[in-house]
Amino acid sequence: MLIPFKDSNPLQVIRFQIVTASFIVINVVVFLFTGPLALPEFSSAVATAWGVVPVELLHPGMVIPISIEPVPEPVTLLTYMFLHGGWLHLIFNMVFLWVFADNIEDAFGHGGFALFYILCGIAAGLTHAVMEPGSQVPVIGASGAVSGVLGAYLLLFPKARLWVIFYLPIPFRIPAVIVLGFWFATQLLGLFTPGEGDQMIAWWAHIGGFITGLILTLLLRSRLLVKA
């Protein structure tokens, strides 16, 4: 896996990515209060109550018994994207968000980016639910919304140079189009050639979020603050 940790794409309009930073803080705080370390005996119940469970979302009235009060199923399309199952899950999502989202926030503006991010997350959750309608496994994590950010970045800044590592901890610099193209290819590969443990990865959410990010950016490109 290509892991990016820095890009060479300076901000052009905004001074600081305040919305991106706020999303990261919210995700970390929610994890500290709801994750396995905080609630080891309730973490799975939290995921079921506040995560997207396709069979519950698509079949109103069907409820999986849990020990805490769930939120209404449509609301889980918002809450699920702020929950994470472990530190690695959280860290990887937040690293990708930090590296790529600042320039998307620069292009959309603070308010526009916040709405863009939420819409990508909702679309990602819906995509997973529609493609896995009988699943009782809750989907949690920011990766669907972050995937939308990646789709926007690929469209707007394909030639931006990214510092990445690949297995060995030796950084090298390559264009964003290669990194993000490789990332999307791995999502398709994971979807059609699942391996051990891949059943816990919501490939359809990643793909749905990515495509939503591409479409929204295409539709709004003429109104963006940054003309890439």
CA distance 72 to 57: 9
Query: Widest CA span of the chain, in angstroms?
Result: 52
CA atoms of 147 and 105, how far apart (whole Å): 14
Q: Does the pLDDT at position 66 exceed 80?
A: no
Strands 168-175 and 2-7: unpaired
**69's tokens:** 């009060």
Residue 197 has pLDDT above 60, yes or no: no
Decide if pLDDT at 198 tops 60. no
- Ramachandran region of residue 39, left (φ > 0), alpha (ψ -120 to 50) or beta? beta
Backbone φ, ψ for residue 62 (5° rounding): -85, 120
Query: pTM (2 decimals)?
Result: 0.93
Strand ranges across the sheet with 168-175: 2-7, 161-166, 168-175
- What is the Cα–Cα distance from 198 to 224, expressed in whole angstroms? 37
Tens digits of per-residue pLDDT, 109-153?
Answer: 999 999 999 999 999 999 999 999 999 999 999 999 999 999 999
22: Cβ contacts below 8 Å, ≥ 6 apart? none
10-62 pLDDT, tens digit per residue, is: 999 999 999 999 999 999 999 988 876 666 655 778 888 999 999 999 987 77
* pLDDT band, very low/low/confident/very high, at 196 (cuts 50, 70, 90): low
The pLDDT of residue 59: 87
Cα separation, 226 vs 17, in Å, equals: 14
Distance CA 127, CA 123 (A): 6
The encoded tokens of residue 219 equal: 């539709």
Q: What is the pLDDT of residue 167?
A: 72
Domain ranges in the chain are: 14-223
The CATH class, in words, for 14-223 is mainly alpha
Neighbour tally for 200: CB within 10 Å? 9
Q: How confident is the model at residue 68 (pLDDT cuts 50, 70, 90)?
A: confident
